[in-house]
A and B are shown apart, each in its own frame.
Chain A
Amino acid sequence: MAKFKKKTNVKQDIPTSSMPDVVFMLLFFFMVTTEMRKSTLEVKQQIPKATQLRKLMRKSLVANLYVGEPTKTQVYGKEPKIQADDTFIDTKDIIRWVNEQKAKLDEVERDQITVSLKVDKDAKRGLIADIETELRKANARKLLYSTLEDNDRDSN
């Protein structure tokens, strides 16, 4: 009976000496690109898709408003709500909120504030239009409807 002789002397180990270097490289990548989210999201966020996107360059000039159905529907109900920072705000509080955001900026840059509206795709136009009216009163007239890039459609 033929015998299959096991090959010996063949090294099967993956070299591990460079592993820390590889891991460190990944680590640095994530450390540099990471950005801590300041507030926990309390509203549903399924952002709609679009093709004609514009990018905001100056991050310090951007103030975020989140709109959508609350995640804790049993506590807050099913009606879409507006979240600013960590709390829900009413439409009538938006002027005050904009002024707080403007106060954080340098005086020369206050008019350049851009409000990024992150709106769930199922939210209704009525609420958004109310927000827009308040933003006009607060003189924060640069607006961005936050959307994701739609790769299925041709953007040209």
Chain B
Amino acid sequence: MPRATPEIPNASMADIAFLLLVFFLVTTTIPNNKGLSIALPPPPEANPPEDVKIQERNMFKIQINSSDALLIEGEPREDIRTLKDEIKAFVLNNGKDPASSDNPEKAIVSFKTDRGTSHKRFVELLDIVQAAYYDLYAEQAGVTNAEFRDAASDLSIPKNRAIYEKGRAGIPLNISIADPTKVGN
């Protein structure tokens, strides 16, 4: 008598696998850990230090009101396509134009919003300002913008740190985000 070979039934295997597959398909969420990274200033102190005088020429002012309209360097503006290049020119002015910044270390891009400004508009503008700075860094480090941001995301690798430090040298990311005014809410 031939010995009976023990076997697992194969026919239902596909069904079981399908069931599991559908379960994971439905429950899966692709995690989103990307975004615009900023560093907040130190905690507000009880006795604020005296106002530091910053020369008008070293400030690039961006103001957004409660209906999301823009005021750039005091001028109302709708078209923001050239804004990135204007910021780059402002940061790298190095005293050439007497109305623009002294040097990149003193140059500050200042944001002033209202409590009623939408988050979407704020992110749109912050994106442009960061694009200007990352372009400068990437150019200085000799890589593309995307490569620089990739390197900056993981500084534990020595090669990335070298790119990051080469790009950042002499150009601090001076973005000031002021407390919003209280017109709309």
Residues of A in contact with B (beta carbons under 8 Å apart): 16, 19-20, 23-24, 26-27, 30-31, 33-37, 47-48, 50-57, 59, 62, 116, 119-126, 128-129, 132-133, 135-137, 139, 141-149, 155-156
Contacts and interface: CB of A to CB of B under 8 A. Distances in A.
A136 B20 CA distance: 45
A30 B18 CA distance: 12
Contacts of B14: 16, 19-20, 23
Contacts of A124: 115-119, 184-185
Contacts of B34: 53-56, 146-149
A62 B33 contact: yes
B6 interface: no
Contacts of A149: 34
Interface string B122-165: 11101100110011000000001110011011101000000000
Contacts, number: 173
Contacts of B149: 52-54
From DSSP, what is the main secondary structure of chain A's interface residues? Answer: mixed
A139 B123 contact: no
Given A55-B153, A143-B40, A156-B146, A23 B17 contact: yes
Contacts of A148: 32, 34
Nearest to A53: B34
B28 A27 contact: no
Contact of B152 (A19, A54, A147): A54
Given A37-B29, A116-B33, 6 more contacts: A20-B13, A36-B27, A52-B149, A125-B115, A143-B39, A144-B35
Interface in B158-185: 177, 179-180, 182, 184-185
A54 B36 contact: yes
A126 B116 contact: yes
Contact of A26 (B21, B131, B134, B135): B21
B119 A146 contact: no
Contact of B123 (A19, A55, A147): A147
B102 interface: no
